[in-house]
């Protein structure tokens, strides 16, 4: 049997799970399920008031990962100030694409959504659906930035919005 290259999870570590954002590992527990002994990473998502148990050996495939490094986040922040992508095609398809990017857990993809929705085309205000996606992306990226900067989500989100405003 080969040695696992999976990251180790320790109580107190911050992790990112694509569908829910940043959570904190509260435990790595062992349970017997249907006669099989399994290890689970137990993650609490404070914002959603939810606890998730992810099988340890499938955590990476399920999208659970450590928060980005400070250097990787610097690259993401630089990406925020780039030119926004032009929306093409039907909004319903774009909505699915943007939602998938947010739920991917990839900070660069989430930053793209945030950047693209921060500067609506033709100076128009964001639609309610665009505003909802913008806020979701802001919370996801802000949560990861807060974990890296060891600050709160509101301060991290304000930092992100400040960067977006300066790039406009």
Tens-place pLDDT, residues 38-65: 999 999 998 888 999 999 888 888 889 9
- Candidate CATH numbers 1.10.30.50, 1.20.58.1290, 3.30.1490.20, 3.40.50.1820; the one for domain 70-167: 1.20.58.1290
* % of the chain beyond a pLDDT of 90: 58
Residue limits of CATH 2.40.10.170 in the chain: 14-66
pLDDT greater than 80 at residue 167: no
What is the per-residue pLDDT for 22? 93
> Mean pLDDT, to the nearest integer, of 122-139?
87
Q: How many CB atoms lie within 10 A of CB 133?
A: 22
With a cut of 90, say whether residue 109 has pLDDT above it: yes
Could you give the CA distance from residue 13 to residue 112 in angstroms, rounded to a whole number?
26
d(CA 90, CA 68): 33
Interval 95-122 mean pLDDT: 89
pLDDT (tens digit per residue) in 116-130: 998 766 667 888 888
In this predicted structure, the answer to whether residue 3 has a pLDDT above a threshold of 60 is no
Determine the average pLDDT of the residues in 95-117.
Answer: 93
Q: May I ask the CATH class of domain 14-66?
A: mainly beta
What's the pLDDT at 87?
75
pLDDT (0 to 100) of residue 2? 43
Mean pLDDT over each residue of the chain, to the nearest integer: 88
What CA–CA distance (Å, rounded) separates 138 from 102? 10
> Please, which residues bridge with residue 55 across strands?
40
Record the pTM.
0.85
For CATH 1.20.58.1290, list the domain ranges present in the chain. Answer: 70-167
pLDDT classification of 161: cutoffs 50, 70, 90? very high
Specify the pLDDT at position 123. Answer: 67
> Percent of the chain beyond pLDDT 70?
93
Give the residue from 61, 23, 54 showing the smallest Cα distance to 39: 54
Q: Is the pLDDT of residue 1 over 50?
A: no
């Amino acid at each position: 049997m080969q040695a696992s290259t999976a990251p180790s999870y320790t109580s107190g570590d911050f992790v990112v799970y694509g569908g829910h954002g940043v959570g904190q590992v509260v435990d790595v527990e062992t349970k017997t399920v249907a006669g099989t002994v399994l290890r689970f990473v137990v993650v609490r998502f404070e914002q959603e008031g939810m606890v998730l148990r992810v099988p340890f050996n499938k955590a990476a495939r399920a999208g659970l990962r450590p928060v980005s490094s400070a250097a990787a986040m610097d690259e993401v922040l630089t990406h925020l100030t780039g030119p926004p992508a032009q929306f093409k095609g039907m909004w319903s398809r774009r909505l699915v694409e943007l939602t998938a990017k947010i739920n991917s857990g990839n900070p660069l993809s989430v930053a793209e959504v945030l950047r693209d929705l921060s500067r609506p085309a033709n100076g128009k205000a964001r639609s309610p659906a665009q505003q909802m996606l913008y806020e979701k992306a802001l919370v996801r990226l802000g949560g990861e930035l807060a974990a890296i900067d060891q600050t709160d989500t509101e301060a991290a989100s304000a930092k992100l919005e400040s960067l977006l405003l300066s790039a406009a």
